[in-house]
């Protein structure tokens, strides 16, 4: 693993930093308060290659590598976690899924508009009764004589669902086969039979629109199947490995924002005639925050490097991705909690972004696989036991 970044990696990091500081950070509080989807900012990110960072140029993307993706997401999340959620889903779950498992026609048809930020993509796996247990899904796709599928069922907690043009959907085509009976489909939300539910009133990442979606006799053609029938669960798990690197990067960026604010505050805030940063208990908090932040960032970069190496030989990087996601998400919760404590009453006030960082951090321990699921993945991969 080489810790030196290339010119190209530093370039896209600089682009992400500039947009984040000039466009995203100034509007973050407004979008958090109103829950308004930041469409203008997303368009700007797309125009600068950040909605399709690893997407090859022939499909409208920046053609960069996983390290570049991590560096860019960290910068965006440091400005606002909700924006980074939208970017992560577009990149990791949608574009990555089609590029890895889709046909050439699907890549040409669905990836370009998403990678350029002209449209929004989403990923529909979770259902009201099945979160971590994805194989318990009830959304069903029934194959017809002409090769098409009629889809009925509900999906919940769909990030970008209220605004998505295209959605990668996972539905059961043969319940008797369990996980091997799940198939992936491309859904065009403009077609009949697709319905959106209410936008969820979330604790954090409020500018990242989330909703339930329902299918009532929605017809998907044979060429809208992603991969092959019955490969859906394998596709979902493969895509989630990449998604976990995105969430780990998000957690690092969010934690970095809280950490930087805390370091600045302990130098300025005085108590008993001296900066509070000179008190040993505050120093201990800063030291613990710094250790967790650095560990999370290095493990996230390692996961991106492992993904890059795995793509060369067709291997997996699930352990590295889960280690990064678990470590970074729990670091984000620890660091934002400590930051809030350091800032005291001011940290609790909406006049400062600390309380937003704290609210936003919690979701990183939940989506793309909870912390409990990450521990199962890591332990099972290490021991070989199920």
CA 112 to chain centre: 19
Pairing verdict, β 149-159 and 140-143: antiparallel
Pairing of strands 225-226, 166-172: unpaired
Token pair of 109 as six digits: 């048809």
Q: Alpha-carbon distance 361 to 356, whole Å?
A: 8
Task: Find out whether 246 and 69 touch, Cβ atoms under 8 Å.
Answer: yes
Which residue in the list 22, 368, 372, 382 is annotated as catalytic? 368
The span from the CA of 247 to the CA of 268, in Å, is 32
| CA atoms of 120 and 165, how far apart (whole Å) | 6
Which residues face 168 on adjacent strands?
123, 186
State whether residue 122 is helix, strand or coil.
strand
d(CA 280, CA 353): 25
Residue 92's closest CA among 343, 384, 368?
368
Length of the chain counted residue by residue: 386
Three-state SS sequence of 199-238: ECCCCCCCCCCEEEEEEEEEEECHHHEECCCCCHHHHHHH
Q: What is the 3-state secondary structure (H, E, C) of 296-335?
A: HHHHHHHHHHHHHHHHHHCCCCHHHHHHHHHHHHHHHHHH
- Is the Cβ–Cβ distance between 73 and 84 less than 8 Å? yes
User: Is 47 a residue of the active site?
Assistant: no
Just list the catalytic residues. 368
């Amino acid at each position: 693993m080489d810790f030196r970044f290339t010119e190209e990696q530093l370039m896209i990091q600089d682009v992400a930093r500039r947009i984040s500081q000039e466009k995203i950070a100034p509007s973050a509080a407004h979008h958090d308060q109103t829950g308004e989807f930041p469409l203008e900012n997303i368009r700007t990110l797309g125009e600068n290659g950040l909605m399709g960072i690893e997407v090859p140029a022939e499909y409208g993307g920046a053609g960069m590598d996983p390290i570049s993706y991590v560096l860019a997401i960290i910068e965006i999340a440091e400005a606002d976690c909700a924006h980074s959620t939208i970017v992560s889903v577009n990149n990791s779950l949608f574009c990555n899924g089609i590029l890895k498992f889709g046909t050439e026609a699907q890549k040409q048809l669905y990836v370009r508009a998403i990678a350029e930020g002209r449209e929004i993509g989403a990923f529909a796996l979770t259902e009201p009764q099945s979160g971590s247990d994805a194989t318990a899904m009830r959304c069903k796709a029934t194959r017809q004589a002409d090769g098409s599928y009629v889809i009925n069922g509900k999906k919940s907690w769909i990030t970008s669902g209220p605004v998505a043009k295209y959605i990668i959907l996972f539905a059961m085509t043969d319940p008797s086969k369990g996980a091997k009976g799940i198939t992936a489909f491309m859904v065009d939300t403009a077609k009949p039979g697709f319905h959106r539910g209410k936008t969820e009133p979330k604790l954090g990442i409020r500018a990242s629109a989330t909703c339930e979606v329902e299918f009532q006799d929605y017809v998907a053609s044979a060429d809208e199947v992603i991969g092959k029938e019955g490969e859906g669960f394998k596709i979902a798990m493969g895509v989630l490995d990449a998604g976990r690197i995105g969430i780990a990067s998000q957690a690092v960026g969010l934690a970095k924002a809280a950490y930087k604010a805390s370091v600045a505050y302990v130098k300025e805030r005085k108590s008993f005639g001296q900066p509070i940063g000179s008190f040993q208990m505050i120093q201990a908090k800063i030291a613990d925050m710094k250790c967790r932040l650095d560990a999370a960032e290095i493990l996230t970069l390692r996961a991106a490097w492992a993904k890059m190496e795995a793509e060369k030989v067709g291997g997996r990087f699930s352990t590295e991705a889960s280690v990064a996601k678990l470590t970074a998400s729990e670091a984000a919760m620890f660091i934002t909690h400590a930051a809030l404590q350091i800032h005291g009453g001011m940290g609790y006030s909406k006049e400062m972004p600390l309380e937003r960082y704290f609210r936003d951090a919690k979701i990183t321990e939940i989506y793309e696989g909870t912390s409990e699921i990450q521990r199962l993945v890591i332990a099972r991969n290490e021991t070989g036991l199920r």
